[in-house]
Amino acid sequence: MPDFTAEIEIEPYEYVNDCSSSEIKDLIEILHQDGLLKDYFQKNGIIDPHSVIEIKPNGNLFDVEWTSIIVKLSRNRLMLTSEEEETIKKIAEKLI
């Protein structure tokens, strides 16, 4: 029996547009883990969260915990919902 293969060319935007929110979050996480977002940040002049906030393990417990939370938020901004992002912005506006 002959073996046939078919190739379909899909543009990246077509793939992403058909992904669910959880699939997009997974895609972002994979890109982050593979270090591909860092290259994107550099290429487009975006500050990489890795280079902005450092966790200092010798700080007091509250500082280490706070910095860890802020780093996590910064690195995963694209994974937040619009409502979560708005909540964070409102908190920041109160403090400035």
Q: What is the mean pLDDT of residues 77-89?
A: 89
Q: With respect to residue 5, please indicate whether it lies within any of the assigned structural domains.
A: no
Cα(43)–Cα(39) distance, integer angstroms: 6
42 pLDDT above the threshold of 80: no
Helix (H) or strand (E) holding 39: helix 36-43
Q: With respect to residue 7, please indicate whether it lies within any of the assigned structural domains.
A: no
According to the model, what pLDDT value does residue 56 have? 63
Q: What is the mean pLDDT of residues 55-78?
A: 79
Domains of the chain: total: 1
Select the more confidently predicted residue: 59 or 24. 24
Select the more confidently predicted residue: 89 or 57. 89
Q: What is the mean pLDDT of residues 64-85?
A: 84
According to the model, what pLDDT value does residue 46 have? 62
Residue where the block lists tokens 């982050």: 32
Kindly report the CA angle at 15 between 38 and 78, in degrees rounded to 5? 40
Range of the domain at 80: 12-95
